[in-house]
Structure 1
Amino acid sequence: MSHQETAELLDELRRSRRRRPFRLPPRLDPWVFGFAAVLAVAFVIWGFTSPDSLGSVASSMLDWTVSKLGWLFVIAAAVITLFILVVALSRRGRIPLGRNGEPPEYRTLSWISMMFATGMGIGLVFYGVGEPLFFYMSPPPDTVAAQTPEAGVTAMGTALFHWSLFPWAMYALVGLGIAYGTFRLGRTQLFSSMFESLFGRGVVNGPGGRAINILAILATLFGSACSLGLGALQIGGGIVSAGIADSVGNSLLILIIAVLTACFVASAASGISRGIQWLSNINMVLALLLAVLVFIGGPTLFILNIIPQTVGNFIDQLPHMASRTPSDDQPELKEWMSGWTVFYWAWFISWTPFVGIFIARISRGRTIRQFVAGILIVPSVVSLIWFAVFGGGAIGLQERAERAGDVSAMLSKEAEGGDINFDTVLFDMLGQLGLPGAVLTVVTVITVLLIAIFFVTGADSASIVMGGLSENGAVDPSRRTVIFWGVATGAVAAAMLLAGGDDPSAALTGLKNITIVSSVPFLFVLLLLCVSLWRDLSRDPMVIHYDLARVVLENSVHEGVEEHHGKPFIMQSVEAEYVEDPEKLVEHGDLDRRRPRE
C-alpha cells in the first residue's frame, strides 16, 4: 500500500474513535406506533368480521408470492447463511460486542437456554414428530420412494435442513447488527439504527427509518401470532388426547389463545431476568425429561442409528435442498415448497426482528465469532438430537407397526399419502410408549405445559421488542405499550386461525399463507442489512488497527529488502520520538523509519 492509503487508514481510525453514543429519548414514537397499531387493528377487524374474505385474499396473494418470489426466499436464505459464516471466520470475528475486555453479561448455560427457547422452541415441539413422519410417508418430490429406509433418512435430513443452520443464520444477522450497533457503537436498539452506515443518520432518523421500524413491528407481530396459533392447535390436540374435550373448534382455540396471551403479557411485564430467564431454564429441564422418556421408551436403537445417517444425508443433499425453487412448471414441487421450505423461510424471517433483538440483548461481551458459533452450532446440534429422538422415534414406531400390520399402533392411519394430524401426533406417539394410564396422563399434562411455556418464552420477548421499537428503541418499554402488543398478538393469531376455517388443518393452512405473504417486505430489509453491517464492521477500530499494522509491516519489509539489496536482515522495534500527528510521518515518508531517541 502507498503512504496515501496509510494516511487514509489513520484518518479512518481517528474518526472511529470520535464516535459517540447516539441515544434518542425512550418515548413513544407516535408515527411508528400509530401506523403499526392501525394496521394491526384493521387486520383483526377484517379477520373477525369477514374471515372468508381474508382467507381468500391470503390464498391468492400466496400463489403470486410463491410463483414470483419463491426463488428469492431460497437465494436470500443461502446468501445470509454464507454472509454470517464469512463474517465469523474473517478477522472481523475477533471484534467484541461491547468494550474491549468486557466480560459476557450472562453465563453460557443461561445464554444458550434463553437463546434456544426464544428462537424456535414452539416450532420444534409442534413439528418435531409430525414433520419427519410426514416426509417418511410422503417424501419431497423427485427424491425417494415413500415408506422405505431411504425415505426415513431423507425425511430426517430434510427436517434438519429446515431447522438448523439457515434459520439461525437469519437470527444471527439481526442479532449481530443490533448487538454491534448498541454495545460497540452506542446506538439505540431500533431496527433502523443498523442502516446508519448505508443511508446516513438523517434518513435513519426520518421517514425512512420509521418505515423500517414499522415493517419490523409487523413482521414480529405476524411471526409471533403464527407461533401462538401453532401452540394453540397443539394444546387443543393435547386436550383432546387427554379426553377433556371431544374435538377442537374455533371457540376452544380462541379460549386457549386468550389464556396464553394473558400468561405471556404477565411474563413480559416482569422483565428478562425474572421472567424469561426463569421460564427458559424450567423449560429446558422439562424438554430434557420428555426427550429422555421418549428415547428410553421408544425405539432406542433406531434413534441411535438414525443420527449419523441424518448428518450424512444433510451434508450430501445440502446443495440440492438449498437450491431447489418452486416454479409453475413443477406444480407438485411448488405446492410442497409453499407448504414447507418457503413457509419456513418466511416464518423465520418474520421472527428475526424479535429473536435477533432479544439474543442481541443477552449477548453483550461476547466476540462476533463466539456469538455466531453459539447461535449456529449449539441450536443445530440440539435440533439434530430433538428430531432424532422424536421424529426418528416416530418413524421407528411407524415402521414397526407397518411390519406387524398393526393399524392401531400406526401414527399415520393412511397407508398412502402420509395423513398426519400435526395437532395430536406428538400425543399419539406418547400413547405408543406403553406407559400406564395415570403416567401417560401426567406426561400429557407436562407436555402441554412445555408447549405453553415455550410459547410464553418467545411471545413475551416479542412483546418487549415491539414495545421497544414503538418507543424509539427503549430497552425497558412501558408496560402499556408491551400489553398493547401482547394483546394484539393474541388477536392477530385468532384472526389468522379464523381465516383458515373451522377445520384445524385448514386453520394451519391459514397461518402459513398469511405468514408467507406478510414476510415479503422484510425479506428485502434483511438483504440490505447484510450490506450495512459489512460497512460497519469494516470501519471498526480493531479492523483498522489490523489493516494499519499490515501496511506498516509490508512497508518495513519492502524498504528493508531495498536497503539490504535482497540479503537477509533482522527487523526490530525501538522507541521512537513522540509525534503528535502521525500524518506528518506519512507526509514525510518516515512512517517506517522513526529515529530512536538520542
Structure 2
Amino acid sequence: MTRKSDEPGARKGFLGTLNSDVAPRVFWPAAGFIVAFVGVAMIWPEDMYRAMMEIQGWIVRWFGPYYTVVVTGFVAFSLWVGLGRYGDIKLGKDDDEPEFSLVSWFTMLFAAGMGIGLVFWGVAEPLNHLAGIPNRASGVEIMDEQGAQAALVQTFLHWGLHPWATYVVVGLAIAYAVHRKGHPVSIRWTLKPLLGNRINGWAGDLVDIVAVVGTLFGVATSLGLGVIQIGAGLSVLDVVGENPGNLLYVVLIGAITLLAVASVFTGLKKGIKLLSNVNIGLAGAVLLFVLFAGPTLFLFRHFIQSIGQYLQELLRHSFDTTAMHGDAGTTWQSWWTAFYWAWWISWASFVGVFIARISKGRTIRQFVAAVLIVPTMLTLLWFTVLGGTATNHELSDEGSLVARGPNGGALLDANGVNISVDNDSSLFQLLETLPGGTILAGFAIIAIVLFFVTSSDSGSLVVDMLASGGDPNPPVWSRIFWGTAEGVVAVALLTAGGESSLTALRYTAIVIAFPFSIVMLLMCWASLREFKAERQLMHAIRLKHQHEELTERLREQGQLKSDDRDISDPTTSRE
C-alpha cells in the first residue's frame, strides 16, 4: 500500500508536514470544493437555492422509481446476508473481541445514525401526513382515526427498515474491508474486489472526496436547520422572543461546535462514547415520560397494531411510487419518500464509516441485528409514542397541533402551500399538553443539543479518517479542523442566506446521493463476492481438516500405512 507521505504532493516544509498527515489527493480537493460552494451560496443564496432545487427535483422526478427499487433492494440484501450462511463471518480476525460493550456500541451507532432526526420529526411527520402536506397523494384522505393510523404507518416506512438497511450496506462492506482484510478506514477499499489496484488512483480518490463532501454538507445542514428548532423550543419556554434572530443561532452553533470539537478531540473511546450514552439515556427518559404521562394503554395497543399493519403493508408501501396521482404524486414523492431515500443514501457514507469503525469483532449476523432490526424496533416505538400521542391529541382537540383553514380544511399560505404544521415547534407544542411539560421541554432541548453534538463529532471523525487516508486515529489538528468547518459552514450560510442557503446545501447532498447509490450497488456486488470466496475457502479448510483427522484415525487403526498418501484429500494432486 502507498504511504500517505509517498503520495504525489508530499514534500518537506509546512505544506509537506500537512500532507504527511492527510491524503492530499482527497483532503485538498474536498476542502477546495466546500469553500467554493459555500462562497457561491453566500454571494448568490437565492440563485443557488433555485438551481439546486431544480437539479434535485429533476433527479427525484426521473429517478424516484430507481431509488424505490434500489433502497428496497438494500433491505433484501441486508436480511439475506444477516440471516443466511454468511452470518457467522467475523468482522475481524478470528480471535478478535469486540472493542466496545454491547450498550456503548449500540448507543453510538444509534446516536450517529438518526438520533436528531427522530427528535425533530417524531411529532412533526405523522402530523404532516395527517394534515395532507403537501397533498393527499400518500393515501391519507382525511383527518380521522383511520387517517392517523395510515399517517403513522407511512412514517414507519420512511424511518424503519429502509434507512437502516442503507447503513448496513455501506457499514458492512467497510467493516469487512477494514477489520477482516486489514485495509485502512476508507470507502474505496470496499471496491477492491471489483477494481483491483485501480482503487489507488483517481477512481478511489473520487469516491472518498464525494463521501467527505456529502458528509460535511449533511451534518452542516442538519446543524443549521436544527438550531432553528432549538430556537423554537426556547421561544415556547419564553427564554427568547417569538422570532429568534441570527445572533441566537450563531451562539447555538458555536456552542454545539465547541462541544463536538472537544468530544472528537478526546477520541472515540472517551468523548464520543460518553456523549452517546448520556444522549440515548436522556432521549429514553423523554420517551418514557411521554409514554406514561400520555395515553399509556392506547399507545401500547397502538404500537402493536401499527407494527402489524406496517409489516402487512411493507411490500406495497416499499414499491409505491404514487404513479396514479399524476403531478400531485410526483410532488409528494419529492417531499417525502423519494427525498428520504436519497437523503439516507447521502448519509450512508458518514454513518457507514462510523459504525464500521466501532464494529470490530462482531459477526455479520450481530452487525445486521444491531444496525437493522433493533434500531428499527426502537425507532418505531419512538414514533408511536411521540407521533401517536400527537395525532391522538389532535383528533380529540381539533386544531391544537394542526392549524385549520377557515372551513376546517388545510391552512394555506399566499402561494397555496399547506402550512398546517409548524415542524420546528410541534414537539414543544405537544409537550406543553402533558403534565410537567415545561420541564420536559427543557430536557428535550438538552437532548436535541446533545444529538447535534454526537452527529457533529461522529461526522468530524468520519471526514477526518477519510481525508487522512483511512487512519482510524487521525491527527488532532485535522479533527479540530473538520469539526470547526462544519460549524463555520452552517454559520456562514445561515447568516448570509438564511434557510435558502442551508436548503441549497441540503439539496446538494441529495444530488451527491445519486452517484453514490451506484457505488453502493457495487459495494453489494463486491461484498457478496468476498463473502462467497471466504465461505468457499472455509469449506475447503474444513474438508482438509476432516480428511487429515480421518487419515490419522485410519493409521492408528492400522488400516493405512504411515507412508501411504491420503488419497481422500481433495487438495492433493493425483498422478
* Structure-2-length-normalised TM-score: 0.87
Question: Does 2:454 correspond to 1:457?
Answer: yes
Name the amino acid aligned to 1:36: A
Name the amino acid aligned to 1:198: L
Larger Rg: 1
1:493 and 1:326 map into 2 onto residues whose CA distance is 34
2:265 and 2:566 map into 1 onto residues whose CA distance is 52
1:185–1:151 distance in 2 versus 1, CA, 3 Å: same
1:82 and 1:172 map into 2 onto residues whose CA distance is 11
CA RMSD of aligned residues (A): 2.9
1:48 and 1:508 map into 2 onto residues whose CA distance is 10
Indicate which of 463, 466, 478 corresponds to 1:466.
463
In the other structure, the counterpart of 1:546 is: 539
CA contact (8 A) 2:46 2:501 kept: no
Shift of 1:447: 1.1
In the other structure, the counterpart of 1:486 is: 483
Indicate which of 430, 441, 444 corresponds to 2:441.
444
Shift of 1:456: 0.8
1:143 and 1:326 map into 2 onto residues whose CA distance is 9
Q: Secondary structure at the match of 1:143?
A: coil
Indicate which of 54, 59, 67 corresponds to 1:60.
54
In the other structure, the counterpart of 2:208 is: 213
CA contact (8 A) 1:363 1:371 kept: yes
Structure 1 range deviating more: 22-31 or 481-490: 22-31
1:81 and 1:571 map into 2 onto residues whose CA distance is 45
1:495-574 mapped onto 2 (5 Å cutoff): 497=494, 502=498, 510=504, 512-540=506-534, 542-546=535-539, 574=554
2:512 and 2:257 map into 1 onto residues whose CA distance is 21
Shift of 1:24: 6.0
CA contact (8 A) 2:185 2:471 kept: yes
Shift of 1:111: 1.2
Question: Does 2:280 correspond to 1:261?
Answer: no
1:584 and 1:298 map into 2 onto residues whose CA distance is 67
Indicate which of 155, 158, 165 corresponds to 2:161.
165
1:459 and 1:292 map into 2 onto residues whose CA distance is 26
Q: Secondary structure at the match of 2:164?
A: helix
Q: Deviations over 1:65-116 (max 9, x none)?
A: 1112222221210122211221122221110111114322211111111111
CA contact (8 A) 1:192 1:210 kept: yes
2:150 and 2:493 map into 1 onto residues whose CA distance is 32
In the other structure, the counterpart of 1:362 is: 358
In the other structure, the counterpart of 1:121 is: 115
Q: Deviations over 1:400-448 (max 9, x none)?
A: 102xxxx4x445455423711110000000111143xxxx443222211
State the percentage of identical aligned residues: 36
Q: Deviations over 1:22-69 (max 9, x none)?
A: 976773121211100010001111121111111111121122111122
1:549–1:425 distance in 2 versus 1, CA, 3 Å: same
Name the amino acid aligned to 1:478: P
In the other structure, the counterpart of 2:413 is: none
Q: Secondary structure at the match of 2:470?
A: coil
In the other structure, the counterpart of 2:185 is: 189
1:573 and 1:507 map into 2 onto residues whose CA distance is 75
1:537–1:401 distance in 2 versus 1, CA, 3 Å: same
1:471–1:301 distance in 2 versus 1, CA, 3 Å: same
Indicate which of 282, 285, 309 corresponds to 2:281.
285
In the other structure, the counterpart of 2:431 is: 430
Shift of 1:452: 0.8
1:385 and 1:302 map into 2 onto residues whose CA distance is 13
CA contact (8 A) 1:298 1:397 kept: no
CA contact (8 A) 2:4 2:23 kept: no
Question: Does 2:106 correspond to 1:105?
Answer: no
CA contact (8 A) 1:23 1:187 kept: no
Question: Does 2:561 correspond to 1:587?
Answer: no
Indicate which of 241, 248, 251 corresponds to 2:244.
248
CA contact (8 A) 2:544 2:570 kept: no
Q: Where do 5+ consecutive residues of structure 1 fail to align?
A: 1-20, 556-569, 590-598
1:142–1:164 distance in 2 versus 1, CA, 3 Å: closer
Shift of 1:127: 0.2
1:284-303 mapped onto 2 (5 Å cutoff): 284-303=280-299
2:288 and 2:502 map into 1 onto residues whose CA distance is 29
Shift of 1:328: 10
Alignment coverage as a number of residue pairs: 540
CA contact (8 A) 2:461 2:479 kept: yes
In the other structure, the counterpart of 2:472 is: 475
Structure 1 range deviating more: 178-187 or 409-418: 409-418
CA contact (8 A) 1:497 1:511 kept: no
1:229 and 1:277 map into 2 onto residues whose CA distance is 24
Shift of 1:585: 5.8
1:551–1:264 distance in 2 versus 1, CA, 3 Å: same
Name the amino acid aligned to 1:421: D
* Structure-1-length-normalised TM-score: 0.84
1:551–1:345 distance in 2 versus 1, CA, 3 Å: farther
Indicate which of 361, 380, 386 corresponds to 1:384.
380
1:508–1:420 distance in 2 versus 1, CA, 3 Å: farther
Q: Where do 5+ consecutive residues of structure 2 fail to align?
A: 6-19, 411-418
Q: Deviations over 1:139-167 (max 9, x none)?
A: 75152422111111111111111111111
2:502 and 2:155 map into 1 onto residues whose CA distance is 18
Q: Deviations over 1:536-572 (max 9, x none)?
A: 22222x542226757999x9xxxxxxxxxxxxxx999
Name the amino acid aligned to 2:510: I
